[in-house]
Structure 1
Amino acid sequence: MLALFHATLGVTAPVFAMLFLGVLLKRLGWIDEAFINTASALVFKATLPTLLFLGILRADLSTALQPALLGYFVLATLGSFLLCWAWAVWRVPYAERGVFTQGAFRGNCGIVGLALATSLYGDYGLSLGGVLAGVVILSYNMLSVIVLALYSPGVKSDPWSLVKGVLSNPLIIGVLAALPLAGFEIGLPHWLLTSAGYFAQMTLPLALICIGGTLSLASIRQGSGLALGSTLFKLVWLPLLCTLGAWLCGFAGRELGILFLYFASPTAAASFVMARAVGANHQLAASIIVLTTLGAVLSINLGLFVLTWLGWI
């Protein structure tokens, strides 16, 4: 368990390092609002879709395609989304419902979840986690587009506008573009993949620096109650309910362990980028990311300890 704690910390510590770098650069005056706006738009429209495209393209579909597990994850994700949305409708101010819901159900599976699955289960974790990440990316982004559009100022929320919003979302386009290439094993030139890899590697540093540059003590204090509520859903209630549901459905061992890691991953940095892109409360989104990333170091290790003690994984 000590080794697992170090593995978790090894994934989350660099995230915090980039967040604090963004805070420092903003304090020094080396970045400003204009930089944050431009960099956030670049991440949303270009570097993050490229990263998602490459992630799908490199997934090992032949050895890790498990329809039952993928189907359960989609249903659990939809159920989690509806639960968080229902709570937001009941307890959260109207303007903040989209950001609260997105922060509560959308995990950083492509980075934290996949890294921990690989650390825990080696090549099997990488293969199954990679395929699962493709499902995660598509489902998370579709649901996030819908809930953010419904509560964001200036974004049309009629059915046709929602459909267009989903289909025109750069993150979803990146995933859909990769699916036929991965499914039919169509290769791309090595130089193109290398160049795309260089470009995609900018995603996480840029997104996290922008989040850090947006953070302020005043904004964290102002939205602390909502951020904490969203964090409790992301790190406690949803992993508990979804992992228990998976066990009752017959999942155990490595499959249950990987499902738990994906359900328990902290809120994705992409939630900040999407909130900012539609004019929602991106400061609340940033606060949720910080709180869940910090809390995940404890909650993930505690969850794995309990699952191992119970003999479920």
Structure 2
Amino acid sequence: MFAIIAATFGITMPVFAMLFLGVFLKRLALIDGAFINTASGLVFNVSMPVMLFLAIIHADLRTAMQPAVLGYFVLATVVGFGLVWAWAIWRVPLADRGVYTQGAFRGNNGIIGLALATSLYGDYGLSLGGILAGVVILSYNSLSAIVLAIYSPSAKSDVWSISKSIICNPLIIGVLSAIPFAYWQIPLPAWLNTSGEYLAQLTMPLALICIGGTLSLASLRKSGALAVSASLMKMVWLPIISTAGAFAFGFRGADLGVLFLYFASPTAAASFVMAKAANGNHELAAAIIVITTLVAAITTNIGIVFLQWGGWM
């Protein structure tokens, strides 16, 4: 158990290091609002789509394909998204509903969830988690694009405009364009793959520095109640509901464990990038990411201890 706790901290601490670097650089006036806007646009339109593209083409879609696990994850994601959105309509101010909903359901599975699955279950966790990550990317980005477009102050919310925002979303384009390469195992030229890796490696540091540069005590106080509410939804209520549902559907062992780790992952840094691209409340998005990442080391380990105590994972 100590090894699992250490692994969790080992994964989350680099995230905090980059967040605090962003805070520090902003204090030193080495980055400013103009840099954050430009860098966020670069991440959203270029480096993150490339990162997702490479993640998909390097996954073997024919290995560890578990239709039941994938199907349940999509079902739980859609149901959780609907529950959070309904709660936001009831309790959250109109302008913040899109950012709140995205922050409360969208997990950092491609990094934290996959890393923990691999740490716990080795090659099986890596292969199943990698396939699941592709489903995660497509479902999370589609649902996020919908809810952000509806509440964006600068976007139209009719069916055609929302459909266009999904189809034209650079992150979704990156995923969909990668699927034929992954399925038919079409290799990229070595130089192109290496260049893509260079771009992909920009994504997380740059996104996290931008989040850190946006953070301030004033913005945290301003979004405090909403950020805490979304964080509780993301880190407590949805993992409990979704994992209990997986248990009721008969999942046990590594399958249940991987599902739990994906449901229990903190909010993804991509939510900040998408909120900013939609001209939403990016300060709220940043606060949710920080809070959920902070508590992940506690809630994830509590869940692992409980499921292992019961002999279910």
The bucket for the TM-score relative to the shorter chain is over 0.9
More deviation, 149-158/18-27: 149-158
Indicate the residue corresponding to 2:193 in structure 1. 193
Give me the CA root mean square deviation: 0.5
> 1:241-252 alignment to 2 at 5 Å?
241-252=241-252
Indicate the residue corresponding to 1:77 in structure 2. 77
Indicate the residue corresponding to 2:104 in structure 1. 104
Could you give the per-residue CA deviations for residues 263-300 of structure 1, whole angstroms, max 9, x where no partner exists? 00000000000000010000000000000000000000
Aligned-partner Cα distance in 2 for 1:306–1:294: 20
Deviation at 1:62, TM superposition (A): 2.1
> In 1, are the aligned partners of 2:60 and 2:183 still within 8 Å (CA)?
no
Stretches of structure 1 lacking an aligned partner (at least 5 in a row) = none
Q: What secondary structure does 1:30 align onto?
A: coil
> In 1, are the aligned partners of 2:43 and 2:273 still within 8 Å (CA)?
yes
Indicate the residue corresponding to 1:289 in structure 2. 289
Query: Does the alignment pair 1:261 with 2:261?
Result: yes
| Consecutive aligned runs of 4 or more in structure 1 exceeding 4 Å deviation | none
Indicate the residue corresponding to 2:88 in structure 1. 88
Aligned-partner Cα distance in 2 for 1:183–1:160: 30
> 1:1-150 alignment to 2 at 5 Å?
1-150=1-150
| TM-score, normalising length: structure 1 | 0.99
Q: What secondary structure does 1:50 align onto?
A: helix
Deviation at 1:42, TM superposition (A): 0.2
AA matched with 1:147:
V
Aligned-partner Cα distance in 2 for 1:16–1:135: 27
Stretches of structure 2 lacking an aligned partner (at least 5 in a row) = none
Q: What secondary structure does 2:63 align onto?
A: helix
Deviation at 1:60, TM superposition (A): 2.1
Aligned-partner Cα distance in 1 for 2:62–2:136: 18
Q: What secondary structure does 1:267 align onto?
A: coil
Deviation at 1:215, TM superposition (A): 0.3
Aligned-partner Cα distance in 2 for 1:304–1:60: 27
Indicate the residue corresponding to 2:169 in structure 1. 169
**Percent sequence identity over matched residues?**
67
Indicate the residue corresponding to 1:226 in structure 2. 226
More deviation, 295-304/52-61: 52-61
Could you give the per-residue CA deviations for residues 129-157 of structure 1, whole angstroms, max 9, x where no partner exists? 00000000000000000000111101011
Aligned-partner Cα distance in 1 for 2:53–2:80: 25
Could you give the per-residue CA deviations for residues 207-241 of structure 1, whole angstroms, max 9, x where no partner exists? 00000000010010011000000000100000001
